[in-house]
Amino acid sequence: MLFIIFSVAVFILCFITFKNIVFRGKWEYVIFFTVIFFPFYITIISTVYSTTKSILILSIFQYIKEIVMLVAFIGFFVYQKNLSNYPLRLNGLDYSFILFYLLVICFLILPIGEATVYSKLLYFKNVALMGLFYFFGRNSHFGDRELKKLLHVILLIAGLALTLNIIEFSIDTHFQQFTGYAVFNDEINNISPKGNHGLTWTFETPTYAKRFASFFSDPLELAISSIMMFATALIMYLTTKRGKATPYLFMIGATAATLVLSYSRSSIAALLVMLVYIAFLFKLYKIVFAIIGLGFTVLVYILFFSSDEFRYFLIDTITLQDSSSLGHLVEWLAAIESMISNPMGIGLATSGNIGAVDEELRVGGENQFLVFGVQIGWIGMILYILMLLGSIVYCYKAFGHLKNTGEARIAFIATTVKFAAIFPLFTSNAEKFLFVSLITWWMVGYTVNAIHRQKLKEIISHG
């Protein structure tokens, strides 16, 4: 039944996407495809494989996303009215992207590292997606209704995720038990079932309690996605007339609930940091003190009134003595040692937790900054940090300058989520979570484009 539902849904989504890109010239609709398809991606392909056991059918569903992106990329050039007059208005953020990808291309072309050419190409494809969606955003232009529709789709995903989470929690069973997730991982990704629930260790806490992922690939992806969906719900609530804002208030609670059920400590910490950042963004300094006071109150409660088990668990987490935190520490030390020994990098596809990385060659992998540092050296890691910090600062400033409400909402989500994601980036190969990664990089690019268009209008109006 799931196979039929997903097959029909993917066919309809692809039909609508290609119709808009090919026949209407709206190549920007690749972002709608991304928002709808990527949250369900692992669930779709694991269901397809476990049902059909066909590599051919699996490949069709796997490569649909690449085909859509390629068609959108080609569509950009085909539907440019006068490509020779395309304006090149580059800023510091653009240059950091260009330098980063020039370095990555050098590591792809040059014989650096022990990974196979195929593995390097596969890894390069995954890294290139960040730049591709930044490029898509830099050239996208939606009307107010389309931007609002996009944000509503994100909130729809949040509502569906919570609904499935509630069902999982009520029957005390992971949804992945019904989708063939373990079979797909074992037979296609060569990842044997682990943990007490027959999935992977990610689906349980150090105390063996279940962590739920809804239809996302794992609880960590749901957690970081919940942060983006929370920011979306919050800005919609804050920028909507009070008579119509109540549904967004409900969605704020829904996204917070999915975050709790995913039980990701780094993402929960990221949410608190994001709330403080938002308070600074709106210059609500009383809220900053209130959050700090709340945090202090919670800490006192935990130290003096909570159960011994939870208190020791928190202490072990802070001191990096529990198994999960200790695992992060081991991975970080291995990566740092490699970077000290090889400051120029050891080559693509040698670090991280994505399929292109051979386990025998893998060094580190649970810190996005160090993942790039191991592979493309200190220079590559610094360029990535510049891309990230540049995005946060640019969108922060743009939020206060953009006059269009829809565009300001995009800038708000981009700056807050990129800032909050710094925490998960320290504890995971977080750019592999494509739903959040690609959408937020698109939003960063869209914000840059929106600022340029607004400045151009101001120049024309004063000319």
296 has a pLDDT exceeding 90: no
Whether 203 is in a domain gets the answer no
Residues 215 and 43 sit within 8 Å (Cβ to Cβ): yes
Give per-residue pLDDT as tens, 69-119: 999 999 988 887 776 666 678 888 999 999 999 999 999 999 998 899 999
36 has a pLDDT exceeding 70: yes
What's the mean pLDDT in 197-219?
A: 82
Give per-residue pLDDT as tens, 365-375: 788 999 999 99
Q: Per-residue confidence at 416, pLDDT binned at 50, 70, 90?
A: very high
The fraction of the chain above a pLDDT of 70, given in percent, is 89
Whether 22 is in a domain gets the answer yes
* Higher pLDDT pick, 205 / 298: 205
Of the three residues 58, 86, 114, the one that is the final residue of a domain is 86
- Is the same domain home to 78 and 220? no
Give per-residue pLDDT as tens, 129-171: 999 999 999 999 999 999 999 999 999 999 999 999 999 989 9
Q: For the chain, report the end-to-end CA distance as a whole number of angstroms.
A: 62
- Is the same domain home to 34 and 115? no
Of the three residues 21, 56, 86, the one that is the final residue of a domain is 86
Whether 205 is in a domain gets the answer no
- Is the same domain home to 74 and 61? yes
What's the mean pLDDT in 240-259?
A: 88
What would the DSSP string read from start to end of 415-438? Answer: HHHHHHTHHHHHHS-GGG-HHHHH
What's the mean pLDDT in 192-204?
A: 81
Of the three residues 60, 86, 112, the one that is the final residue of a domain is 86
452 has a pLDDT exceeding 60: yes
What's the mean pLDDT in 219-229?
A: 92
- Is the same domain home to 339 and 454? yes
265 has a pLDDT exceeding 90: no
Residue 151 pLDDT: 96
* Higher pLDDT pick, 8 / 290: 8
- Is the same domain home to 66 and 156? no
- Is the same domain home to 320 and 224? yes
Which of 2-16, 175-189, 303-317, 446-460 has the lowest average pLDDT? 303-317
321 has a pLDDT exceeding 70: no
Whether 204 is in a domain gets the answer no
Residue 201 pLDDT: 79
- Is the same domain home to 228 and 283? yes
- Is the same domain home to 319 and 329? yes
| Separation CA 24–CA 6 (nearest Å) | 26
Whether 345 is in a domain gets the answer yes
- Is the same domain home to 69 and 155? no
29 has a pLDDT exceeding 90: yes
In whole numbers, what is the pLDDT of the chain averaged over residues? 87
Q: Per-residue confidence at 251, pLDDT binned at 50, 70, 90?
A: very high
Please choose, from the candidates 450, 359, 436, the residue with its C-alpha nearest in 3D space to the C-alpha of residue 404. 450
Q: Per-residue confidence at 328, pLDDT binned at 50, 70, 90?
A: low
Which of 194-203, 341-350, 364-373 has the lowest average pLDDT? 194-203
Residue 294 pLDDT: 66
Range of the domain at 398: 87-172+210-461
Residue 306 pLDDT: 56
313 has a pLDDT exceeding 60: no
- Is the same domain home to 275 and 359? yes
Burial class (CB in 10 A: 0-12, 13-18, 19+), 301: exposed
The fraction of the chain above a pLDDT of 90, given in percent, is 52
| Separation CA 180–CA 174 (nearest Å) | 11
406 has a pLDDT exceeding 80: yes
Which residues make Cβ contacts (< 8 Å) with residue 224, sequence separation at least 6? Answer: 264, 267, 270, 421, 424, 430, 433, 436
- Is the same domain home to 323 and 291? yes
Q: Per-residue confidence at 319, pLDDT binned at 50, 70, 90?
A: low
Residue 329 pLDDT: 78
301 has a pLDDT exceeding 80: no
pTM score, whole prediction? 0.91
Residue 311 pLDDT: 56
Which of 156-170, 305-319, 388-402 has the lowest average pLDDT? 305-319
Whether 397 is in a domain gets the answer yes
Residue 352 pLDDT: 82
- Is the same domain home to 382 and 251? yes
Give per-residue pLDDT as tens, 231-248: 999 999 999 988 888 899
- In angstroms, the Cα distances linking 226 to 39, 101, 175, 188, 238 are 11, 29, 18, 28, 18
* Higher pLDDT pick, 358 / 138: 138
- Number of structural domains found in the chain: 2
57 has a pLDDT exceeding 80: yes
| Separation CA 411–CA 400 (nearest Å) | 9
Whether 242 is in a domain gets the answer yes
Please choose, from the candidates 404, 401, 413, the residue with its C-alpha nearest in 3D space to the C-alpha of residue 443. 413
Whether 185 is in a domain gets the answer no
